[in-house]
A and B are shown apart, each in its own frame.
Chain A
């Protein structure tokens, strides 16, 4: 049967679609569910794979999970969300270098970093070349990244060492001489040497030093040594005094001054102001006090060439400019200006600053330091030494210390009118004719008042070569720090840091901080803590067993206990009575020391008789009859005088038991946790993990106990810790480059020193010294330090 199978009715088809067909919408509806499932499958894959793991092998890249940029772009968002879910910290993008180096952004970053520690003006210069440390609220250069220890010593002895000591904080005190005198009498003692109002200082010709104590507490509670200088002036009712205080005890000194002068705050700065404008002012008891903290730059030049270098950098400003009315117009008409310039002209070619009046102060008004630079770094050497007149060397004019630097408003103006390097260079670009030569406009840069303070160095040839560590301190207004620094470096100064301060003191045979001052105590506890930590980081078999060596306090000098055992008092202080020390120096032991200063310690400078470096924290002992007899028998031998017999460690067994019981305890606790885990596993259908140990408290307690058994915290005795009687401690000991042998600084009790000085068998007055990690005693000679 044939039929026309055309369906279309228009074409004449007659075939009718049967009712068995499926409607489109019905078909779609049926499929929707299936498609939904498919879409759902793609959107929320059930597989645990991460997105970058699902990529085909040829598209995978190394470190894809860390760096989303290695993924195809369409997966990145997904990948980031996956990473965020996983709890991985999303690293924020570091701004581009170009953005970071924009001057405004750079400044913002610098001010942020300065919030915690104050920066010196030369900070950025130093930060590029030095190891920086945070100390006393400042970020300070510690030592050069180059190996320059010996070079710095040579510089201090023969050339010139340069240090930025702007961190010394200046306090300005204004008031009548009488008021200031009575105030400071409470904080100082006339026994320690000259007071703050001594005749030789009040003329303002010389800088002085004074040791401050807590109010009426002398000789205990020493704060530290400060330097000061008076503004020259005849008017006794209004004198001005600058006191330079080390930042480690600056706050304490300020507190004592508030107490003594009954000061109240009257003026304060706003935080937005520039650093050199931030001046706190206090008023009270006829005295006004201003904190000039961080408003002056002080650079220290040490060494004979500092004279030649300053003669190159400090060129007196002589230009007469009638057009511009400024402070210099008035100042240059003063007689002192001419006197200063002629004096500087006369003495600037000296061979060493030590030839001038000791601690003399010289004010100068000089040309901009940036104009005084050699084209290449050059060493300044003295040219044909002219011998200055006897008058200039011994009795310089009283007008020398006068300087406009004392005027706060003027200092502020000078700092504000500082023309930055950028502007200077731009102007040079415009007007320069011959490259490298001076431009005409540079003559019009403002004059700068500076203050030079001489330091005499060694003045006793019995102790140290005359003139060692002599030099100049330079005070300049803020803003000019870096430009002066660079000029000095270009003329051949060797820059140094905090380490070099210690080095110069060490070579000089003195201590930077005394152990009864605030900074000294701080230093001792800091180094003690560091040494202790280092010791207990070592495995037990690499630790020196101090109990076997009969050393009871290996990490810090236990001076208070030592004094306690010799005199029965808990407090101690360093003997500073100049008359008594002078008698001691001339090898006579004054009885007053035993009577009135039995709780004191005397600073001595030790020199080893034979070889060997006892190192820091060595003990100083009294030699016995046999030691001395043996010494005379074997004079030339380098053998130790006596070797301490090895002691039995009383805690060795206890430590062993403690260690094993501790291990057992930990094991038991672990087993307990394992058992608990097994119990839980039985009832649970998931995998149970072992509980965290939570034994940190037990471990810490055990560690403390162990530490105490290694080095007992409170030793039974310091004086009788070993077979020789201990009467002192060495605080710093090292090879001294200026002497060519080992020298040390130590502190001894007067009672012990008396024994040594009275001993007829010991005419050389030898002491026994033993380091912490040796059993050998060696002889050392001593000298009493007067300038403590």
Chain B
């Protein structure tokens, strides 16, 4: 099994030719399969944002969490769903009438892709890929914390 270093954030622009060739070959002789990203935190106040879920439903999920007495919630967004996460956070804050505020934090998440061979003599190869992630903490403003 061979490990191919994937295009990470910085190196994206200046990939060298050999890597490009290798990738093209990968596309032809291999089947590209993805593994899901690790959900590191799974506390009850962690919400993982997807771009597929209905926006209103996600908003309601966050509001319900906040209304249930939790002080702060964390929205984790990865890649495509970052815009969705920002929208969600801004909507939540603007709907709250000053009761909520947000803090944002960015990070880079490691993703693992598998290239499954299409011919009998090939072996499975692995690619490490980086993707941007955004973690938004939405918490109650000081005056609104009830203990």
Q: Which residues of A contact B (CB under 8 A)?
A: 190, 193-195, 197-200, 206, 350-352, 354-355, 357-358, 381-382, 385, 387, 390, 393-395, 456, 459-461, 465-467, 470, 578-579, 582, 740, 786
| Binary interface encoding of chain B residues 100-142 relative to chain A, with 1 for a CB under 8 A from any of its CBs, else 0 | 0000000000101010111111111010100000000000000
Q: Is A197 a contact of B120 with CB atoms below 8 Å? A: yes
The answer for the CA separation of A459 and B112 in the assembled complex, in Å, is 11
Q: Which residues of B contact A (CB under 8 A)?
A: 1, 3, 31, 33-42, 50, 52, 54, 110, 112, 114, 116-124, 126, 128
Q: Is B33 a contact of A465 with CB atoms below 8 Å? A: no
Known contacts A394-B112, A395-B126; A354 and B35 CB within 8 A of each other: yes
Q: Is A354 a contact of B36 with CB atoms below 8 Å? A: yes
Q: Is A351 a contact of B33 with CB atoms below 8 Å? A: no
Q: Is B120 a contact of A190 with CB atoms below 8 Å? A: yes
Q: Is B34 a contact of A466 with CB atoms below 8 Å? A: yes
Q: Which of A195, A198, A385 contacts B38 (CB 8 A)?
A: A385
Q: Is B117 a contact of A198 with CB atoms below 8 Å? A: yes
- Residues on A with beta carbons closer than 8 Å to the beta carbon of B1: 394-395
Chain A interface mostly helix, strand, loop or mixed? loop
- Residues on A with beta carbons closer than 8 Å to the beta carbon of B118: 193-194, 578-579
Q: Is B3 a contact of A394 with CB atoms below 8 Å? A: yes
The answer for the CA separation of A190 and B119 in the assembled complex, in Å, is 8
Q: Which of A190, A351, A456 contacts B39 (CB 8 A)?
A: A351
Q: Is A198 a contact of B120 with CB atoms below 8 Å? A: yes
Known contacts A352-B36, A467-B36; A395 and B3 CB within 8 A of each other: yes
The answer for the CA separation of A501 and B86 in the assembled complex, in Å, is 39
Q: Which of B33, B38, B121, B123 contacts A358 (CB 8 A)?
A: B33
Chain A proximity of B57: nearest CB distance (Å): 10
The answer for the CA separation of A699 and B40 in the assembled complex, in Å, is 70
The 4 closest A-B pairs by CB, nearest first: A459-B33, A467-B36, A466-B36, A198-B120
Q: Is A382 a contact of B38 with CB atoms below 8 Å? A: no
Chain B proximity of A181: nearest CB distance (Å): 9
Known contacts A199-B117, A394-B1, A394-B112; A355 and B34 CB within 8 A of each other: no
The answer for the CA separation of A256 and B41 in the assembled complex, in Å, is 51
Q: Looking across the interface, which residue of chain B has its beta carbon closest to that of A459?
A: B33
New A-B contacts (19) at CB < 8 Å, excluding given A194-B120, A200-B116, A385-B42: A194-B119, A197-B120, A198-B120, A200-B123, A350-B38, A351-B40, A354-B36, A355-B112, A357-B124, A390-B128, A394-B3, A394-B112, A395-B126, A459-B34, A459-B35, A461-B34, A465-B50, A466-B35, A467-B36
Q: Which of A193, A206, A385 contacts B40 (CB 8 A)?
A: A385
Q: Looking across the interface, which residue of chain B has its beta carbon closest to that of A398?
A: B1
Known contacts A351-B42, A390-B128; A200 and B35 CB within 8 A of each other: no
Chain B proximity of A254: nearest CB distance (Å): 25
Chain B proximity of A384: nearest CB distance (Å): 10
Chain B proximity of A202: nearest CB distance (Å): 9
The answer for the CA separation of A355 and B40 in the assembled complex, in Å, is 12
The answer for the CA separation of A394 and B118 in the assembled complex, in Å, is 19
- Can you report 19 residue pairs joining A to B where beta carbons are below 8 Å apart? A190-B120, A194-B117, A194-B120, A195-B120, A199-B117, A199-B120, A200-B124, A206-B124, A350-B38, A358-B33, A358-B114, A394-B3, A456-B35, A459-B114, A465-B50, A466-B36, A466-B37, A470-B36, A579-B118
The answer for the CA separation of A357 and B114 in the assembled complex, in Å, is 8
- Residues on B with beta carbons closer than 8 Å to the beta carbon of A357: 114, 124
Q: Is A387 a contact of B121 with CB atoms below 8 Å? A: no
Chain B proximity of A207: nearest CB distance (Å): 13
Known contacts A394-B112, A459-B33; A382 and B42 CB within 8 A of each other: yes
Q: Looking across the interface, which residue of chain B has its beta carbon closest to that of A194?
A: B120
Q: Which of A193, A197, A456 contacts B33 (CB 8 A)?
A: A456
The answer for the CA separation of A579 and B52 in the assembled complex, in Å, is 29
- Residues on B with beta carbons closer than 8 Å to the beta carbon of A382: 42
- Residues on A with beta carbons closer than 8 Å to the beta carbon of B120: 190, 194-195, 197-199
- Residues on B with beta carbons closer than 8 Å to the beta carbon of A578: 118
The answer for the CA separation of A307 and B112 in the assembled complex, in Å, is 19
- Residues on A with beta carbons closer than 8 Å to the beta carbon of B114: 357-358, 459
Q: Is B123 a contact of A199 with CB atoms below 8 Å? A: yes
- Residues on A with beta carbons closer than 8 Å to the beta carbon of B116: 200, 358
Q: Is A465 a contact of B52 with CB atoms below 8 Å? A: yes
Most chain B CB within 10 A, of A200, A467, A740, is at A200
Chain A proximity of B132: nearest CB distance (Å): 17
Q: Is A200 a contact of B122 with CB atoms below 8 Å? A: yes
